[in-house]
Amino acid sequence: MEINILKLNVIADSFLNRNDAEKIRGYLGNLFWDNPYAHQHNKDGSLIYKYPCVQYKVIDGVCFLIGFNEGLEVVKKTFHDLKEINLDGRWQEILSKGLESYTTYFSVTLEQMHYSFLTPWLALNEKNYEKYQKLGTWAKKKELLESILIGNIISMSKSLGYTVPEPIKADIKNMKEVQTKLKATPMLGFLGTFSVNFEIPDYWGIGKSVSRGFGTVVKEKCK
């Protein structure tokens, strides 16, 4: 399926940390509270249980907003209106903004596509965290992570209304555990590379809390 995407990069007057993505999401979510897709909540405060169409990320000190479908308007408003941002009481002036519009694809592919995680992938929930820790060998842990990765992509597909026409095959190439935090809670994340017979748009997130910048993937450049 074709996806129209807006990618906005925002450079503030100080270097941003990866954890600032959550603060940026909170600030812009409040700023654009009338648009539920800016913060993934309905008017009654309940969560919107679908793949986030606005995702906030900090990569190499730069803030990125990725928007598609209902999220396009949030990215446009941010581009036109944002002049400063408040990160937990720290006001940051916006030095520059760049907006890119393009069309890409989300679908099964004939060949394996190769990806890297730019930000930690939160693959494990409480249940499969315990299962993961009890597995003795990396081969068994790898098999579990591959099944979770496939499940993440299937969940994304259902949310976007895309019917997966054939089995998804994932192969984790290199993966390392990293310690990270979500809402100040310590979490186990993963960084590394994988291949899958699926086209995932660059800078989209996989797994938990992708709207806060986790699990961001890009295609690996051919060598």
pLDDT on residue 29: 87
Please tell me the predicted confidence (pLDDT) of residue 221: 77
What are residue 58's phi and psi, to 5 degrees? -125, 120
* 174-189 tens-digit pLDDT: 999 999 988 888 999 9
pLDDT of residue 140: 96
Could you report the per-residue pLDDT of 31-48, keeping only the tens digit for each?
888 878 788 776 776 777
Among 220, 127, 126, 122, smallest CA distance to 178 is for: 122
pLDDT at position 56: 95
Q: DSSP alpha helices (H): ranges in the chain?
A: 20-31, 72-81, 126-134, 138-160
Phi-psi region of 166 (alpha: psi -120 to 50; beta: other; left: phi over 0): beta
d(CA 14, CA 217): 25
> Where would I find the beta strands (DSSP E) of 13-130?
54-59, 62-68, 84-87, 90-105, 107-117
Rounded-to-10 torsion of CA 63, 45, 217, 102: -70
Is residue 160 a contact partner of residue 2, using CB atoms and an 8 Å limit? no
Averaged pLDDT, 68-89 = 90
Tell me the per-residue pLDDT of 132-164, one tens digit each, with 9 for 90 and over.
Answer: 999 989 999 999 999 999 999 999 999 999 999
Tokens of 45: 């405060």
Q: Half-sphere exposure of 91 toward its Cβ, with a 13 Å CA cutoff?
A: 4
pLDDT, averaged across the chain: 92
42 compared with 69, residue with greater pLDDT: 69
Closest to 217 (Cα-Cα) out of 89, 119, 110, 77: 119
Cβ proximity of 190 and 196 under 8 Å:
no
pLDDT 10s digits, 200-215: 999 999 999 999 999 9
- Give residue 50's pLDDT band: very low, low, confident or very high (50, 70, 90): confident
Strand partners, 170: 196
Q: Which residue has the higher pLDDT, 172 or 47?
A: 172
Interval 13-34 mean pLDDT: 88
3-state DSSP: the chain helix, strand, coil percent, rounded to 5? 30, 40, 30
Cβ pair 19, 165 in contact under 8 A = no
User: Which is more confidently placed, 44 or 2?
Assistant: 2
Distance in angstroms (rounded) separating the CA atoms of residues 40 and 57: 15
Q: What whole-number distance in Å separates Cα of residue 10 and Cα of residue 110?
A: 36
pLDDT at 190: 97
CA terminus-to-terminus distance, the chain: 27
Which 8-state DSSP code applies to residue 36? G
Mean pLDDT on 87-102:
91
Report CA 49 to chain centroid distance, whole Å.
15
Q: What is the pLDDT of residue 222?
A: 61
